Each structure stands twice: as C-alpha cells, then as structure tokens.
C-alpha cells in the first residue's frame, strides 16, 4: 500500500513546479501533500491544466474534474520582463521570486533570466512601480504542452536551493544581531544614553531575555 508521503512525492513529481501558489498552498510540495491526504482537490493547478489533472487522477484514483475556476485558468506559459526605464532597484521582486530568476542589486536595474522564470506571477504585485510585464513564450500551447519535465525538474531544484539560501541568510542575520546584542550587553553603559543604574539594569534584562529567545528558537530549528 502506498503511504501518504510516497503518494505526495509522486504527485509532486507530476506537478509543473512553478511554485505559483495559485493552488492555494505555499508551494507545489505543500499542495502535493494536501492532495495525498485528501485535503485538496486534484483540479487546483492552473499551470498543469487539464493534462495535469489527468495525471493526478491517475495517481490518486479520483475521477477527472475540470480545473477549479477559483484557482485560475489554463493558459500559455509566460515569463516576466522588467522595463529598464522604470525599475528603481527596490529588490522586492528578487526576494519573492521562488527560483531566483531575477538578478540585480539594491538601487540597480534588475533583469530576468528567462530559462529560470516559471511565470509564477508572484513578482507582479510586489513591484511598486509596475515595471514588470508578462510575455507569452509558448504561443497557443497551454498546460504541459507549454512546459516540460526537464523544466519542471529544474524549477524544483532551483526552488529548493532558493529555500535553503533564504534559511542560511536568515540564520546569518540572526547570528549577526545576536553578536551585536552580546557586544552591547558586555558594555551596556557605553552603548546607552542613560546612566541611571536602574534603567541600565532593566535594559540588560530586556536584552538578556531577547538573546535567550533567539538562542532557544535557533536551537529548536524554528
């Protein structure tokens, strides 16, 4: 008998891995897990389209049903394009892109690496100057006819790398803040505008409590 985890992995492998969240879940893996557990329908992935639903029907034994319009509609594959004349280099699209398909630095014009873009559209709403547009690159081909297993595999790998990088960055940032707090705590009087011992003691307790929470969170892996 197939376990829910095994089924979830097989379902994930049948998804296009665009990480667009239109299914209502944070990513393709979460949606796959929900389908495997019976918490989500097999018809909630617009990028996969009708063929994607048929694949999930075959894996789950559920009957085929049309794409749920609440999740969007099947369409051709599109990729993001950034208008250089309007980009202000805010980096918001860099942060949200699930496959790190957007390159650039703060206050510098950004660009899109087309082969890495899944057309997830997540960058569109975060752009404060509306300089990102989507261009159709597959003509009338939609769903899996506009996407390939190799592209899905690459998107999945890039998403997993993206998640790992964000986790490393978050850990490094937390450690940097912790070291800064420790330095401040070691000589609180020199880092404070107050000289009253009672106020300094209160600040010391606050900093110590914050450090304890940060260490406990990191130790727990949250």
Q: Evaluate whether residue 156 is within a structural domain.
A: no
Residue 117: other Cβ atoms inside 10 A: 23
Cα dihedral value 12, 18, 20, 24, nearest 10: -20
Q: Are residues 126 and 185 in the same domain?
A: no
Q: Evaluate whether residue 154 is within a structural domain.
A: no
Is the CB of residue 145 less than 8 Å from the CB of residue 51?
A: yes
Q: Could you tell me the two tokens for 167? A: 């986790």
Q: What is the tally of structural domains in the chain?
A: 3
Burial class (CB in 10 A: 0-12, 13-18, 19+), 10: middle
Q: Is the pLDDT of residue 61 over 80?
A: yes
Across 75-100, average pLDDT: 95
Q: Are residues 48 and 101 in the same domain?
A: no
Q: Are residues 67 and 111 in the same domain?
A: no
Rounded-to-integer distance, Cα 68 and Cα 46, Å: 8
Q: Is the pLDDT of residue 222 over 60?
A: no
Q: pTM above 0.75? A: yes
Residues pairing with 135 in the sheet: 79
Q: Which domain holds residue 65?
A: 4-71
């Amino acid at each position: 008998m197939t376990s829910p985890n095994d089924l979830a992995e097989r379902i994930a492998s049948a998804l296009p891995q665009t990480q667009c969240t239109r299914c209502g879940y944070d990513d393709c893996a979460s949606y796959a897990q929900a389908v495997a557990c019976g918490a989500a329908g097999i018809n909630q992935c617009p990028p996969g389209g009708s063929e994607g639903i048929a694949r999930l029907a075959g894996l789950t034994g559920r009957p085929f049903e049309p794409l749920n319009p609440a999740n969007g509609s099947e369409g051709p594959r599109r990729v993001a394009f950034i208008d250089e004349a309007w980009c202000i280099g805010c980096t918001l699209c860099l942060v949200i892109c699930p496959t790190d398909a957007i390159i650039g630095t703060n206050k510098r014009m950004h660009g899109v690496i087309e082969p890495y873009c899944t057309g997830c559209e997540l960058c569109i709403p975060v752009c404060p100057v509306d300089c990102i547009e989507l261009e159709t690159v597959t003509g009338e081909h939609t769903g899996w006819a506009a996407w390939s297993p190799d592209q899905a595999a690459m998107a999945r790998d890039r998403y997993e790398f993206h998640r790992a990088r964000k986790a490393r960055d978050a850990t490094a940032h937390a450690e940097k803040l912790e070291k800064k707090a420790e330095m401040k705590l070691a000589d609180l009087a020199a880092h404070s505008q107050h000289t009253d011992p009672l106020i300094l003691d209160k600040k010391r307790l606050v900093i110590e409590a914050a450090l304890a929470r940060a260490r406990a969170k990191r130790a727990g892996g949250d």
